[in-house]
Chains A and B, each alone.
Chain A
Amino acid sequence: MATDTASQLDNRWKTLRITLSNAWIVTQREVRDSFRDWRIVAPIIILTFLFPFLAQFLATEFQEFVEGYGADLIGERTIPFLLMVVGFFPISISLVIALETFVGEKERRSLEPLLSTPLTNTELYIGKTLAAMIPPLIASFGGMTVYLGSLLFSELAWRPPAMLIVQIILLTAVQALVMVTGAVVVSSQTNSTRAANLLASFIIIPMALIIQGESVIMFLAPDADSPFGIGALWAIILGMFIVAVLFLRVGNSIFNREELLASTVSQLNLRGTLGKIKRYILAVDDTGTPAKNILDWYRRAIPYSLYQIATPLKVTTGVFIFAFMVGFFVSFTPQWHLQLPSQEELVEVANRDAKQFISYAIETRSLSFMFIFMQNSRVLLATLLLSIFSFGVMALVIPPITLALLGYITGTVLSAGYNPMVLVAGILTHGIIEIPVILLSAAVSLAVGAVVTRPPKGSTVGHAWTVMLGTTLKLIIGVVIPGLILAGLIESFVTPRLVLSILGI
């Protein structure tokens, strides 16, 4: 057994070494090619050897200027900010190189000879990704070294905290990775460099916002001088690393021979796509066989789709349970503990203010069926849309908040010594339908968002996504919406009466 595991590990290690070694062959060629292109070399030289001196000059001048107004701190914090800028400017070239290597080759149709070699898709993808990152990172780190060196010999003689340099280096590397991997995702949607450059706004704009955020953090962070670095920057590094990993996975599934050569038509076929989605909504299996009637649809299509999303369902269930437990235990921690009145006091207050409470509820319609239904639908729709754009991540963030709140309420109510039946009546009466429906909705949102990161074997990303969108809509139409209607009706008409009767009001 142990020998088997050791040999498996050994094989994996060997495969990884071969993959990296083959990818490196591609990287070397592409890097060499990049360094022969003056459009890439010229900015790299300027940004590595000239721009840092300009930044250093600016830092000196700015510091002198703000010192005149007694704002020494601003001057001091401009220095690491400019270090970040010096590092970021060259890596913006990585986007250009990435679009050129991925879309440019597609446009020139020069990728096919490389695709005819024994190199695997992953080797090609890693090789090209590294190639797009290496020259800009060399320029970036080179520029930062020149900037720091020039600072040491300037009259500023500023000594940066070591951890801040580590943070800026990590930020620069992870930003380059996000831009390159994002460029692969963008380039998969088009066959022309011109269109890819337009689509690159989807990378540039968020990145510009992040840089602005980082700048603000560097100026205002209370822990700017901490030896452990700025906490918020660590959070950004981690967040961007997660985004990069997701982009890498998406890119790796998109960068395959089938996708690269099959999607040569960039014409929008809305009718065809909608037809396909409709087909998979009605389908009882993967091949698109339509259900005979609505009974057949519920008998075969819905169970089949539930089976298809078994893994996301398990993951979501695990996250929901975890969120509930977190909420439950947090309710007992002193700083978060909420002191409720005793059950008797609550009944007294409720009796006294019942009229006022009811009129408030009527006025705000907060207990009306439509309000409850619309509220739940809105949250689940937002979750679905955000999940599509976040590769499923938001499906594991937004709905679990409800479960964490439920856990918190449960803990608080129980610790206040209320009759547990209040909880059963107040939550489970409608929750027995609502919670599984939310769980299902979160699971399909996760599935439709995450499917692009790993489409089923033999399926293109586009096809896999269309099929999963069909499955998602099928379960939403067939289960989630009817479930929300039923739960809303119960919550509106049954739950309040049950709670009041248990409390004896």
Chain B
Amino acid sequence: MIECIDLTKYFGDFLAVDHINLMVDKGEVLALLGPNGAGKTTTVRMMTSILQPSSGTARLAGYDVVTEPEKVRAHVGVLTEQHGLYERMKGMEYLEFFGRVYHLSAEECRKRALDLMERFGLTDALDKRLGEYSKGMKQKLALVRAMLHNPPVLLLDEPTSAMDPLSAKQVRDAIIELQKGQRTFLITTHNLTEAQLLADRIAIIRHGRIIANGTFNELVQQFVGQPMMELRINGQLNGLGRELSDIVTVQSAGINWLRYQVEDAQVTNPLVLRRLLTLGVEVVTLSPVTQTLEDVYLQVVKEDETNGN
């Protein structure tokens, strides 16, 4: 559904996007993460044929961004960084205008608009001027606009950035529901928790290059390494690490806890527990340390920096 092949963009002599290759299948959600100025927005703009690639190309919903820009834009819904709402218009008027631009019939447009407004809890604001909308409401309306023509591909730039937790959940639920309906999403965000919750795959972009791309587990495996276990005991460790050194390598430790990495928890943990039982150590908890996307992200960026980029 989304395919970028060596997508590159120069602004004068400045290389903003450097030979990006991405593939997002139908019904998949890809989160594109990266620091400010990494090239996320430029990539999205090229995907929507707003900016022409300097070289390479992309295909969205089967259409080429270079040769079929209007078709690409007709089949893609975009939530832009700036929502660009017309403050003097009313909610419904605004959606009707975009409905006409996408050549929806008046009836179809109204029906879709009402459905989406209801889904995002905006029904009461239909006849309000957009200038009176709160920041979160504006963002939701912009999202409704992006979904109005029922596009098979949605490119969302920070979809929940200005929203309260309840609204953000509404948006996430909507994305999950639409994904079930085989919509394809590319989401750029700084909210790593949200990316972890929503994305099937995650790509990290830095200095215009994709420096990591895969499922969360793949990225954890690749960048953070094997799963980490945390053992907490009753009392102090008193050289317990040495006693376990033939089974595991302790990575870090405190007064009454230690952490070790395991290749296969099912094999290693029973051995550890048996040894602790033999030693008469009272175990309080033995649990996996949850790896977050933040750990992965920071590690990826750190490694990229170490590589001199």
**Which residues of A line the B interface, CB within 8 A?**
22, 25-26, 29, 33, 36-37, 105, 108-120, 257-258, 261-262, 272, 458
Contact of A25 among B70, B85, B97 (CB under 8 A): B97
Which residues of the other chain, B, contact A109 by a CB distance below 8 angstroms?
Answer: 81-82, 84
**Contact A36 to B88, CB < 8 A, known contacts A25-B101, A262-B11:** yes
Contact of B12 among A25, A29, A112, A272 (CB under 8 A): A272
Question: In the docked arrangement, what's the CA distance between A290 and B277, Å?
Answer: 78
Closest chain-B Cβ to A11's Cβ sits at a distance in Å of 16
Question: Which stretch of B46-54, B203-211, B241-249, B300-308 is in the interface?
Answer: B46-54
On whether the beta carbons of A116 and B80 are closer than 8 Å, the reply is yes
Which residues of the other chain, B, contact A261 by a CB distance below 8 angstroms?
Answer: 45, 50-51
On whether the beta carbons of A458 and B51 are closer than 8 Å, the reply is no
Which residues of the other chain, A, contact B73 by a CB distance below 8 angstroms?
Answer: 116-118
Which residues of the other chain, A, contact B100 by a CB distance below 8 angstroms?
Answer: 25
| Interface bits B197-224 vs A (CB < 8 Å: 1, else 0) | 0000000000000000000000000000
Which residues of the other chain, A, contact B51 by a CB distance below 8 angstroms?
Answer: 257-258, 261-262
Contact of A116 among B12, B48, B85 (CB under 8 A): B48
Q: What is the number of residues of chain B that contact chain A, defined by CB distance less than 8 Å?
A: 30
Question: In the docked arrangement, what's the CA distance between A415 and B271, Å?
Answer: 119
On whether the beta carbons of B101 and A119 are closer than 8 Å, the reply is yes
On whether the beta carbons of A29 and B86 are closer than 8 Å, the reply is yes
* Given A109-B82, A110-B85, A258-B51, 18 new contacts (CB under 8 A): A22-B101, A29-B89, A33-B86, A33-B88, A33-B89, A110-B83, A110-B86, A111-B84, A112-B50, A112-B81, A112-B82, A113-B142, A117-B98, A118-B70, A119-B101, A257-B50, A261-B51, A272-B12
- A458 nearest CB neighbor, chain B only: B52
- B142 nearest CB neighbor, chain A only: A113
Q: List 20 A-B contacts (CB under 8 A).
A: A29-B86, A29-B89, A36-B88, A37-B88, A108-B82, A109-B84, A110-B82, A110-B84, A111-B84, A113-B80, A113-B145, A116-B50, A117-B98, A118-B73, A118-B102, A120-B70, A257-B50, A257-B51, A261-B50, A262-B51
Which residues of the other chain, A, contact B48 by a CB distance below 8 angstroms?
Answer: 116
**Contact A117 to B84, CB < 8 A, known contacts A33-B89, A258-B52:** no
Closest 6 CB pairs of A and B: A110-B84, A109-B82, A116-B78, A118-B74, A113-B84, A112-B80
- B45 nearest CB neighbor, chain A only: A261
On whether the beta carbons of B88 and A112 are closer than 8 Å, the reply is no
Question: In the docked arrangement, what's the CA distance between A60 and B142, Å?
Answer: 56
Within 8 A of A (CB), among B74-128: 74, 76, 78, 80-86, 88-89, 97-98, 100-102
The majority secondary structure among interface residues of chain A is: helix
Question: In the docked arrangement, what's the CA distance between A60 and B86, Å?
Answer: 46
Which residues of the other chain, B, contact A115 by a CB distance below 8 angstroms?
Answer: 50
- A269 nearest CB neighbor, chain B only: B12
Contact of B78 among A36, A113, A272 (CB under 8 A): A113
Which residues of the other chain, A, contact B83 by a CB distance below 8 angstroms?
Answer: 110, 113
Closest chain-B Cβ to A505's Cβ sits at a distance in Å of 62
Which residues of the other chain, B, contact A33 by a CB distance below 8 angstroms?
Answer: 86, 88-89
Which residues of the other chain, A, contact B70 by a CB distance below 8 angstroms?
Answer: 118, 120
Which residues of the other chain, B, contact A25 by a CB distance below 8 angstroms?
Answer: 97, 100-101
Question: In the docked arrangement, what's the CA distance between A110 and B80, Å?
Answer: 9
On whether the beta carbons of B97 and A29 are closer than 8 Å, the reply is yes
Within 8 A of A (CB), among B217-252: none
Question: In the docked arrangement, what's the CA distance between A117 and B88, Å?
Answer: 21
Which residues of the other chain, A, contact B45 by a CB distance below 8 angstroms?
Answer: 261
- B9 nearest CB neighbor, chain A only: A262
Which residues of the other chain, A, contact B145 by a CB distance below 8 angstroms?
Answer: 113
Closest chain-B Cβ to A26's Cβ sits at a distance in Å of 8
Question: In the docked arrangement, what's the CA distance between A119 and B103, Å?
Answer: 11
Closest chain-A Cβ to B184's Cβ sits at a distance in Å of 16
On whether the beta carbons of A117 and B102 are closer than 8 Å, the reply is yes
| Interface bits B114-151 vs A (CB < 8 Å: 1, else 0) | 00000000000000000000000000001001000000
Question: In the docked arrangement, what's the CA distance between A110 and B142, Å?
Answer: 11
Closest chain-B Cβ to A120's Cβ sits at a distance in Å of 6
- A459 nearest CB neighbor, chain B only: B52
Question: In the docked arrangement, what's the CA distance between A302 and B145, Å?
Answer: 53
- A119 nearest CB neighbor, chain B only: B101
Which residues of the other chain, B, contact A108 by a CB distance below 8 angstroms?
Answer: 82, 84
Which residues of the other chain, A, contact B102 by a CB distance below 8 angstroms?
Answer: 117-118
- A256 nearest CB neighbor, chain B only: B52
Which residues of the other chain, A, contact B80 by a CB distance below 8 angstroms?
Answer: 112-113, 116
Which residues of the other chain, A, contact B86 by a CB distance below 8 angstroms?
Answer: 29, 33, 110
Closest chain-B Cβ to A160's Cβ sits at a distance in Å of 39
Which residues of the other chain, A, contact B98 by a CB distance below 8 angstroms?
Answer: 113, 117
| Interface bits B24-45 vs A (CB < 8 Å: 1, else 0) | 0000000000000000000001
Closest chain-A Cβ to B263's Cβ sits at a distance in Å of 47
Closest chain-A Cβ to B66's Cβ sits at a distance in Å of 9
Question: In the docked arrangement, what's the CA distance between A258 and B81, Å?
Answer: 17
Which residues of the other chain, B, contact A113 by a CB distance below 8 angstroms?
Answer: 78, 80, 83-84, 98, 142, 145
- A35 nearest CB neighbor, chain B only: B88
Which residues of the other chain, B, contact A458 by a CB distance below 8 angstroms?
Answer: 52
Which residues of the other chain, A, contact B101 by a CB distance below 8 angstroms?
Answer: 22, 25-26, 114, 117-119
- B75 nearest CB neighbor, chain A only: A118
Question: In the docked arrangement, what's the CA distance between A458 and B67, Å?
Answer: 12
Question: In the docked arrangement, what's the CA distance between A116 and B49, Å?
Answer: 8
Which residues of the other chain, A, contact B12 by a CB distance below 8 angstroms?
Answer: 272
